[in-house]
Amino acid sequence: MSDFINPNLRTFQVFPDVPEPLQPLVELSQNLWWVWHPDAADLFRRLDRSLWEEVYHSPVKLLGRIDQGKLLAASRDQGYLAHMRRVYDAFRRHMEAHGWFHDNHQDKDKLLVAYFSAEYGLHESLPIYSGGLGVLAGDHLKSASEIGMPLVAVGLLYRNGYFQQYLSGDGWQQESYPELDFYNLPLEPVRYTDGSPMHVRVDMPEQAVFCKVWKAQIGRIPLYLLDTNLPENDPQDREITSRLYGGGTEMRIRQEIVLGIGGVRALQALNINANVFHMNEGHSAFLALERIRMLLEDSTLTFDEARQQVMATNVFTTHTPVPAGIDTFHPDLMVKYFRNYWPQLKLDEKGFLGLGREDPGNHAQGFSMAVLALRLADSCNGVSRLHGDVSRGMWHNLWPKVPRHEIPIRHITNGIHTRTWLAPEMMFLLERYLGEKWMSNPTDQSAWEEVSQIPDEELWRAHERCRERLVHWARKIHKEQLQKRGASYDEQMAADEVLDPDALTIGFARRFATYKRGALLLRDPERLRRLLEDTHRPIQIIFAGKAHPADHEGKELIKAIVNFARNPGVRRRILFIENYDMNVARYLVQGVDVWLNTPRRPYEASGTSGMKAAANGVLNCSVPDGWWDEGYSADVGWSIGHGEHYSDPNYQDQIESVALYELLEKQIVPAFYNRGADGLPREWILRMKNSLRKLAPVFNTNRMVKDYAEMFYIPAHQRGEALAANSLERSRALAHAKEMYHKKWNSIRILSVHATGTGHYKVGDEMTVEATLDLPELKPQDLRVQLYTGPLNAAGQIESPYVVPMEFTKEVAHNRYLFTGKIRCQVSGRQAFAIRVLPGHPDMATPFEPGLIYWG
């Protein structure tokens, strides 16, 4: 094929000729609401089932390629038209309903959240995601639509998406990057009022880059996507939005400039006045700089004054449990790209680079996007309880004198959008026995309690149908993949017999990073082979997942699994499915019996695939990491170990692989195959019901988005409004107060401390503590004086500390003030207390914000 591009080509677009009675199909195809409504998906599938598979479940492509005669036939089919009207009526009700947010927060009608993410996993037909981070972002938008959250989303539109995976004959991962046709996707270019396409400008060192703005609609939530593949851009700039996570470090910084800075400018061009900004991971952290720059434009504000306003209304979610997973740029690269930008922030080079360094004074440190986000957001969180604690440990250096448990990073545990991931068989059962409540409010625990009413026979048969469907699909996909690899005819024929629709089926599917230990089950091949080859109680395992193109260790893990699966004795019992995506994930989480997860704790920030499995009654067997550290109990699944810490990773792998084999041999396999006279595994089914009842109402994104709304979005909006009033009067005052604290902090002295009593107390006694502070440059109302107290451990440290405020009592001499607090002795044993002083300005999001703390 010639690379010649004719400059005289004139483009035009052809639209499907949909008969008038079927016009609602056009609107439905353009809104991704259909993704989580099986009845809507079936509406398109009914038109042409084989074409539906060929276009990979894309309604837009289906309508563009379907035979016109089939559309005409459907337009005269009264049964089909009734189906369409039912779906369209449900769609309109969704679009016009108020939802949870309106019902519970009517007075917050001015709130509008802008949600930024580098990837969105909405559906396999729109492949602009790589894995869990993107799928979580997609589920966030779906739940935001369901609960009526006022939210818009911003991302990048990658024309090659994330790579497509296929395996060579020897099992080595290969990558391909097919090009997306945006005009055959549920996207539309955003236009100005004169009809011209909307472009926003972002400046790079060499020249300006222009970004086209596209829009996808997810129920009630608009998603705006930026695209640099424009004729007016240089070839190198057109590549910025080519591949998700493609290219080197310099390509990454260019992408993140477009996402963060370009995304804010796109919202401005759209006249969308968002007032709370949510950074989903650090990729979009440059948005905070752009928001500050816009506030400083043509104003007398200082950087710190504008920063206070922006910080108050920024939310940052970190998904990374290790520093190596954070984007960090060399100082020279930052200088290259921001030399002309930081003067607009009223900063010099040192002040600018310090924003992204753990130690602003260490000029050798790189510029961390996570540090930038943490420094410019008042609301920060990890994505599970354990990950919140890990994150506080990771970023302790930003608050060096603050006890770890008080580092201002909270947690909101991730969830899944239940209806996206639920098998049709399970959805039918839930509708039949739980009514409508679980669907309209999946966080309602009382609705899920009705799971106990589902007859064991019906639940088990529904699950068996899901497993049968998985096996049928896996055989078909495996055969197709063997054909593409050039496998022999005999190998292809053997694919028809792989897997057993009645055998205990284990699923393991995730990114093949080494810490996820994809080959932990292969650590003792002979022991695994005995489990697989058991003719009376066999197990079978389906693997799927991609390794990053540059991760050779991850690729070696995949190759080891594929080669092990070629052993004659196990080839029917173990299978690797190529090109893991949302479609593959749905089959797996709906059809396996056990969802296996083996990360090296505590490196799994959350992990949501196990939640998807649990919503389908699939039992989890996992290391207690991420969400499973919260979700596990003995009646819903199995835990590999008890969260022990190991200093030697190899020893940890050995211990936990043995623990996994023990669980399989002594608990999981017997529980699955222990059948009564009626052929039902009653103990297993009880666990399935417990899993649905306990986990489904908690680990879902409707609950998660509500948590974000009430913990972060609404308080950030209120705080932002307060600081912005009267031309940012309080924002200016807060910036000056922080400057004052830094100048005068070292003048604080604790002169004396006196505690009542003898040092020996009984439970229930109260001890009064008095402290005299010398404050030559500060006043009592500027400060928070606290007692930091609790039980003392053998190492001389306070365990489970709690804080008691001390009240200003009187001025005992010039600049000397008495503070008093009372400690109630609640438990016996050795106790201790310390006195600490913190800034006390009422407008600070947290007293730890300035990084100042004085321990007496």
Digit-coded pLDDT (tens) for 600-609: 999 999 999 9
Residue 514 DSSP one-character state: G
Q: How far apart are CA 644 and CA 647, in angstroms?
A: 10
Q: Residue 140 half-sphere exposure, CB side, CA atoms within 13 Å?
A: 33
> What pLDDT digit, counting tens, does each position of 153-195 carry?
999 999 999 999 999 989 999 999 999 999 899 999 999 999 9
| Beta strand extents in 630-782 (DSSP E only) | 637-639, 749-755, 766-774
Indicate whether 285 pLDDT > 60: yes
Residue 530 clears pLDDT 70, i.e. is over it: yes
pLDDT at 13 > cutoff 80: no
Residue 560 has pLDDT above 80, yes or no: yes
Q: Mean pLDDT across the stretch 20-48?
A: 97
Contact 512, 577 (CB under 8 A): no
pLDDT in tens, 460-510: 999 999 999 999 999 999 999 999 888 888 888 888 999 999 999 999 999
State the Cα–Cα distance between residues 836 and 847, nearest whole angstrom.
12
460-465 contacts at long range (C-beta below 8 A, 24 or more positions apart): 460/680, 460/681, 460/685, 462/423, 462/425, 462/426, 462/428, 462/429, 463/425, 463/426, 463/593, 463/616, 463/617, 463/688, 464/501, 464/502, 465/425
Edge to edge, the sheet with strand 539-544 lists 574-577, 539-544, 504-509, 594-597, 619-622, 637-639
The dihedrals phi and psi of 381, each to the nearest 5 degrees, come to: -150, 150
pLDDT tens digits for range 660-712: 999 999 999 999 999 999 999 999 999 999 999 999 999 999 999 999 999 99
* Mean pLDDT value across residues 341-366: 96
pLDDT of residue 300 exceeding 80: yes
Sign of CA dihedral 189, 190, 194, 200: negative
**What distance in Å separates the CA atoms of residue 735 and residue 741, rounded to the nearest whole number?**
10
pLDDT in tens, 69-128: 999 999 999 999 999 999 999 999 999 999 999 999 999 999 999 999 999 999 999 999
Q: What is the DSSP string of 211-233?
A: EEEEEEEETTEEEEEEE---TTS
Dist. CA 703–CA 387, nearest whole Å = 18
User: Given the structure tokens 């609950």, which residue do they identify?
Assistant: 703
pLDDT category at 5 given cuts 50, 70, 90 is: low
Cα 211 versus chain centre, distance: 26
pLDDT in tens, 140-150: 999 999 999 99
For position 6, what pLDDT does the model report? 63
State the average pLDDT over residues 384-410: 95
31 pLDDT band, cuts 50/70/90, is: very high
Give 191-227 pLDDT, tens digit per residue.
999 999 999 999 999 999 999 999 999 999 999 999 9
Contacts of 140 (CB under 8 A, 6+ apart): 115, 280, 701, 704, 705
Above 50 in pLDDT, residue 1? no
Q: How crowded is residue 525: how many other Cβ atoms within 10 Å of its Cβ?
A: 13
Q: With 0.85 as the threshold, say if the pTM is over it.
A: yes
Task: Identify the pLDDT of residue 10.
Answer: 72
Residue 212, both tokens: 């086209």
pLDDT of residue 16 exceeding 90, the answer is no
- Average pLDDT in the 633-652 region? 94
Mapped onto helix, strand or coil, the DSSP state of residue 364 is coil
Neighbouring CB atoms inside 10 A of 806's CB total 23
User: What is the residue-averaged pLDDT of the chain?
Assistant: 95
List pLDDT tens digits, range 127-142. Answer: 999 999 999 999 999 9
